Amino acid sequence: MTALLEVSNLHVEFDTYGGIVKALRGVDFSVESGQTLAIVGESGSGKSVAMQSVTGLIPMPPGRITAGSAKLRGKEFLGQRKLDGKTICGDEIGMIFQDAMSSLNPTMCIGDQIAETLEVHRGYSRSKAFSRAIELLDLVRIPEAARRAKQYPFEFSGGMLQRVMIATAIACKPSLLIADEPTTALDVTIQAQILDLLQSLQKETGMAIVLITHDLSVVARMADRVAVMYAGQIVESGSVEDIFYRSAHPYTLGLKLAMPSHSGGEDHRLRPIPGSPPDMFSPPAGCAYCERCDRAMRVCQSDNPPIFTLDEGHLSRCWQQHPQHTGASEGLYKKATAHIDEVQA
């Protein structure tokens, strides 16, 4: 079965006054229909750039895709606006952003903004598009959709605006929805509503979702598969259970130990990851995480580790998983869980 979206070896750079920022340094991932892939990482890790370069949303220049490919149902489309007569961005791929307020036009009423998508991509007449917009608002569970469609963004709350964004993104029934930090600016109660909505829309339409977030709890709730990004590379990827219960990369483990436990009992002291991510003007020759890693070896400083396969679909970019490293693979799982147990004890 071919994946819906398959991205491989993606390299993206940006020209800035300070020099060239190597934002992506060989990123591979794929999503299948009906599946949710979560891309997790800190700010500056390249998670948004990865999706924006696929959809052609990064400004070029200063941005530049230096290598890589992106295939939709097996067909290459990177750098193109259209594929088989359909516009990639809007028709095939819908997108929602973190800040719904600044992503919408404050001088246009909500209904017209949703209708615009349909007029442009589907050639609907104005009135037909507007009545479809009301149906879409209903679909994303906005009460009194017909009245609300005539209102302006300032009359909506943050959670409601995010629903409007979702309605716009799914207007053309895309096969893939990219949600870039969709709930970061929202309260937990509203976040729960939006995540529920995304899940039920996915069930109804069978679309794939790529969820970009920095919040591991949201990942646990939503994802089928997870890719952990660090300094422009995916350092670990696998099923959500692989990432949470069998984490292999020291960065993934570090992120987990930096959070307070959610079960009762005595608290362990939080273990922050020391230091900060590397300077992307001149990424280090070796592993980018090496300076912050508590298990760094000599090889980590000089050579960037390749991707090692631990299990079916579970990949990690760390020298610890090299077959010749003592206690590789299975042993490391045990070490990893023992490490957590010891800290939580």
Partner 1 sequence: MSELIRLEKLTRYFDMGRGKRVHAVDGVSFSIAEGETLGLVGESGSGKSTLGKTLLGLYDKTAGSVIYKGEELPAHYRPKDFLRMANVMQMIFQDPYASLNPRMTVGEIIAEGLRLKPDIQAGDVRARVTAALERVGLHAAHASRYPHEFSGGQRQRIGIARALIMEPEFVVCDEPISALDASVQAQVVNLLNDLKTSMGLTMLFIAHDLSMVRYISDRMAVMYLGSVMEIGKAADVYFQPRHPYTQILIASNPEPDPGREKQRLSTPIQGEIPSPVNVPPGCRFAGRCPKVMPVCREKTPELLPLVNEDRLVACHLYTDAVS
From 86, 21, 90, 30, select the one nearest 57 (Cα to Cα). 90
User: In whole angstroms, how close is the CB of 227 to partner 1 at the nearest point?
Assistant: 15
| Closer residue to partner 1, CB minimum distance, 156 or 319 | 156
Q: How many residues belong to the site for partner 1 (CB under 8 A)?
A: 43
User: In whole angstroms, how close is the CB of 111 to partner 1 at the nearest point?
Assistant: 21
Q: By CB under 8 A, which span of 29-37, 145-153, 173-181, 270-278 interacts with partner 1?
A: 270-278
Structure tokens at 225: 């598969």
HEC profile for 174-243? CCEEEEECCCCCCCHHHHHHHHHHHHHHHHHHCCEEEEEECCHHHHHHHCCEEEEEECCEEEEEEEHHHH
| Closer residue to partner 1, CB minimum distance, 71 or 249 | 249
Q: By CB under 8 A, which span of 93-101, 248-256, 307-315, 327-335 interacts with partner 1?
A: 248-256
SS3 331: helix
User: In whole angstroms, how close is the CB of 261 to partner 1 at the nearest point?
Assistant: 8
Residue 254 touches partner 1, criterion: CB under 8 A: yes
Among 255, 293, 318, 332, indicate the residue that binds partner 1 (CB under 8 A): 255
Task: Say which amino acid occupies 95.
Answer: M
Residue 259 touches partner 1, criterion: CB under 8 A: yes
| DSSP type of residue 38 | E
343/11 Cα distance (integer angstroms): 38
Residue 341 touches partner 1, criterion: CB under 8 A: no
- Interacting positions 29-48 with partner 1 (CB under 8 A): 42-43
Total count of residues recorded for the chain: 345
Q: By CB under 8 A, which span of 113-121, 202-210, 219-227, 323-331 interacts with partner 1?
A: 219-227
Among 2, 147, 150, 192, indicate the residue that binds partner 1 (CB under 8 A): 192
From 10, 27, 20, 19, select the one nearest 66 (Cα to Cα). 10
- Interacting positions 272-291 with partner 1 (CB under 8 A): 272-274, 276
Judge whether 148 and 110 are in contact, CB under 8 Å. Answer: yes
Residue 215 touches partner 1, criterion: CB under 8 A: yes
H/E stretch holding 247 reads none
12/24 Cα distance (integer angstroms): 5
Q: By CB under 8 A, which span of 120-128, 166-174, 239-247, 331-339 interacts with partner 1?
A: 239-247
Contacts of 147 (CB under 8 A, 6+ apart): none
Residue 271 touches partner 1, criterion: CB under 8 A: yes
Residues that bind partner 1 (CB under 8 A): 42-43, 157, 159-160, 187-193, 195-196, 214-221, 223, 240-241, 244-245, 254-256, 258-260, 262, 264, 267, 269-274, 276
